[in-house]
Amino acid sequence: GQQVMQIPQYQHVQEGEDFTTYCNSSTTLSNIQWYKQRPGGHPVFLIQLVKSGEVKKQKRLTFQFGEAKKNSSLHITATQTTDVGTYFCAHQRGGGADGLTFGKGTHLIIQP
Amino acid sequence: EPEVTQTPSHQVTQMGQEVILRCVPISNHLYFYWYRQILGQKVEFLVSFYNNEISEKSEIFDDQFSVERPDGSNFTLKIRSTKLEDSAMYFCASSPQGQGAGEQYFGPGTRLTVT
């Protein structure tokens, strides 16, 4: 199946600094979804991107889908302690009720 | 706000025993999924279910696994003969729509420990 590679695996930032995680695929993706998982919690849907070059914003979060639909990024401006968690990109191949293929996630650790 | 529920929150079982993990998806959702997450690792897809049958399954979902929707609300995952490597967090998810556009709502998970 289509794998999605995610980097970095861990990111330590000082509170107030920006944070970016990247998701890459060797093949074109029909869509990309982003989920956040708090420590000890479950994945929570953040956004879905389907169009080439798409950019969506949610307050301090900016999501991008590359022009070739092979990569995506999540950028958080001015991190807060509530942003702590693991951010996963995921892809749903389509063709019915397909499951999500997740990246390995980026663990965001914030130092106050 | 509607949410997916799962029981039990933690299940401890001995190797070789059968376990059934239970989920109640969001009531008007049509697509149901099971995922697992070994501690510290990524979330892995197991199986999807639509219209009372399996739609897709991963290579992890071998003959020891089965799913069932015994009534209009519950969705279960059975592991017939558990192995040590089945120890993981198991998440149920549901979605109101399937192909290519489906935000999935995850339950809180069942932590399965096989000893």
DSSP B57-68: E-TT--TTEEEE
Quote the CA–CA distance of B81 and A69 in Å, as a whole number.
Answer: 42
Question: Is A31 near chain B, with CB under 8 Å?
Answer: yes
Tell which CATH classification among 2.60.40.10, 2.60.40.420, 3.20.20.20, 3.30.2130.10 matches the domain B5-97+106-110. 2.60.40.10
Across the interface, of A43, A45, A96, the residue whose CB is closest to B43 is A43
CB B67 within 8 A of CB B78: yes
Q: What is the mean pLDDT of residues B6-28?
A: 97
Beta bridge mates, A5: A24
Q: With CB atoms and an 8 Å threshold, state whether B103 touches A33.
A: yes
Domain with residue A99: its CATH number is 2.60.40.10
Residues of chain B in contact with residue A48, where contact means CB-CB under 8 angstroms, are: 101, 103
- Read off φ and ψ for residue B84, nearest 5 degrees: -55, -40
Single-letter amino acid code for the residue at B26: I
The helices-and-strands tally (H runs, E runs) of chain A is 0, 11
Which pLDDT score, from 0 to 100, does residue A112 have? 81
Q: What is the mean pLDDT of chain B?
A: 93
Residue A82, SS3 per DSSP: helix
- pLDDT at residue B100 is higher than 50: no
Mean pLDDT of chain A: 94
Domain parsing of chain B, residue ranges:
5-97+106-110
What does the pLDDT average to over B47-66? Answer: 93
B43 is written with which tokens? 């979330």
Greater model confidence, B30 or B35: B35
Checking if the pLDDT of A97 tops 80, the result is no
Q: Containing domain of residue A14, as a range? A: 5-111
Q: Is the pLDDT of residue A94 over 70?
A: no
Task: Name the residue among B55, A61, B70 with its Cα closest to residue B45.
Answer: B55
- Residue written as token pair 């650790």: A109
What is the number of structural domains in chain A? 1
pLDDT for the residue numbered B101: 55
Contact of A104 with chain B, judged by CB distance below 8 Å, is answered with yes
pLDDT of residue B72: 79
Nearest to A105 among B35, B42, B99 (CB): B42
Q: What is the pLDDT of residue A41?
A: 96
Q: Taking 50 as the threshold, does the pLDDT of residue A101 lie above it? A: yes
Q: How far is CA B104 from CA A33, A70, B15, B18, B19, in A?
A: 10, 22, 31, 28, 25
Interchain CB distance below 8 Å, B42 and A50: no
Is residue A1 predicted with pLDDT exceeding 70? no
